[in-house]
Structure 1
Amino acid sequence: MDLLHALFDAQLTIGGQHLLWREIVGNGFGLASALGGMRRKIWAWPVGIVGNLLLLTVFLGAVFATPNPVNLLGQAGRQVMFVVVSVYGWVQWRRTRARLDQDAAGLDADSHGVSVEPRWATWRQRTFLVVALVGGTLVLTPIFRMLESYEPVWADAWIFMGSLLATYGMAKGWVEFWLIWVAVDVVGVPLLVDAGFYASAFMYVFYGAFTLVGFFVWWRIDRRSQALEVAASAPATTP
């Protein structure tokens, strides 16, 4: 138990700032999950869940008596949400993987072993994402404030809703889910810095750049898939 307690409270000190190794390792798992998502690998989901569980203990600082006794309820709640939605995404990608494996003969070389087919959301789906992001933030802000979450509470609510919708979009294979992550990162970095979660803030900066790369990677995959579909549907010509 003493060893477990020591590992739980292990810290890294940089320039007088104390960072929990749980926060660093948890964000490392999150980065690995994002990389797996960009490559469309099913292992991205369980890896992400491990990181979510570690970060849950970090953002409930007052509950777990960490050196930074701050509760970010939106950040903590989104870790629970991540686990739930990740299970959904895991199941969805497993089903897609099985279907793609059956149709492997008709896929390009880069599509073998992947678990999702990136595609653009419809305008109706995009409208849903925007309305849900703004509306959910407005609804959750007074609830998080009542629960004494860290100010500005609207930013915590925005991050929670954006993370929920981005994870759902990833499960669906919508290219736009990467852009939702960008919107989350823009708000998340200053909030985390102000709350003293420097490791997570640094990772959010890195995530911001990474999500833009992921967006263009999935966009390119979608364009290539559409080109292959057009070529396959074109009538054959005889000499």
Structure 2
Amino acid sequence: MDLLRWLFEAQIPVAGSALLLREVLGNIFGLLSALGGMRRKVWAWPVGIIGNLLLLTVFLGSLFGSADTASLLGQAGRQVMFIAVAVYGWRRWHGSRHDAAGHALTPRWASGRERAGLAAGMVLGTVALTPLFTALGSYEPVWADAWTFVGSLLATYGMARGWVEFWLVWVAVDIVGVPLLFSAGYYASAFMYLFYGAFTLIGFFVWWRARNRAADESRVLVPTGASEAASR
């Protein structure tokens, strides 16, 4: 119990202010999860869940002894969502056929229909959740909180499905999420999101190259197989 109390109360002094240790640790686990996702490793999912649990306690503000911080219900709710989708992604990647390098899946481009679903989901989901988050007392501007929630859901689902475009959804989330977190006083998360913005662009190109490499390998193998069949 003493360790748990210390974890909830510990702060890191920074430039005359203080950051919650839970917020810093949660974002560190989130970064490790993102690195694992870039490398398409199954362990990215359980590591991310640990970070989600820590950040859930942060964004619920006063419920966990942080009365002087704003409650971002979209940010808190998306931690719950992350955990649910992470379980799905964890099972999906664990059950997939790994390649020789231990990669859990081969990235692919989303279909036109899937891309349209992502775009529509971002807009319609934000519109639908903004009144709900407003009624629940989320931090202004509430639409930004709803946008980050919906975008995070779609990006995490896209990662589980292996869509290259999921990295670009994260960029859209970060563009809105960084100013929101700074204005709400969650500086550790804001700086981490700012870093994620550059990181997700790198991840996009890493997955893009992996997808092209897999496509090139398949084109080499198909003619070989066809020639062998013809010789028989």
Q: Deviations over 1:169-228 (max 9, x none)?
A: 000000000000000000000000000000000000110000000000000000010000
- The question of whether the paired residues in 2 share the 8 Å contact of 1:68 and 1:196 is answered with no
- The question of whether the paired residues in 1 share the 8 Å contact of 2:74 and 2:133 is answered with yes
After TM superposition, list the pairs within 5 Å mapping 1:107-146 onto structure 2.
112-146=101-135
SS at match of 2:140: coil
Match of residue 58 from structure 1: 58
Q: Which runs of 5+ in 2 are unaligned?
A: none
Matching residue within 158, 166, 173 for 1:184: 173
Q: Deviations over 1:32-53 (max 9, x none)?
A: 0000000000000000000000
- The question of whether the paired residues in 1 share the 8 Å contact of 2:55 and 2:76 is answered with yes
- The question of whether the paired residues in 1 share the 8 Å contact of 2:69 and 2:185 is answered with no
SS at match of 1:62: helix
SS at match of 1:30: helix
Match of residue 82 from structure 1: 82
Aligned residues: 227
SS at match of 2:18: strand
After TM superposition, list the pairs within 5 Å mapping 1:8-157 onto structure 2.
8-66=8-66, 68-96=68-96, 99-100=97-98, 104=99, 112-157=101-146
Q: CA RMSD in A?
A: 1.4
Alpha-carbon separation, structure 2, partners of 1:161 and 1:4: 31
- The question of whether the paired residues in 2 share the 8 Å contact of 1:61 and 1:69 is answered with yes
- The question of whether the paired residues in 1 share the 8 Å contact of 2:8 and 2:64 is answered with no
Displacement of 1:139 = 0.0
Q: Which runs of 4+ in 1 moved over 2 A?
A: 1-4, 235-238
Displacement of 1:67 = 5.6
Alpha-carbon separation, structure 1, partners of 2:105 and 2:42: 9
Task: Among all aligned residue pairs of Structure 1 and Structure 2, give the percentage whose two residues are the same amino acid.
Answer: 63
Q: Which runs of 5+ in 1 are unaligned?
A: 105-110
Match of residue 6 from structure 1: 6
Alpha-carbon separation, structure 1, partners of 2:186 and 2:175: 15
Alpha-carbon separation, structure 2, partners of 1:158 and 1:41: 28
Displacement of 1:152 = 0.2
TM-score by length of 2: 0.95
Q: Deviations over 1:88-130 (max 9, x none)?
A: 000100111xx23xxx5xxxxxx52111110000000000000
Alpha-carbon separation, structure 1, partners of 2:108 and 2:68: 41
TM-score by length of 1: 0.92
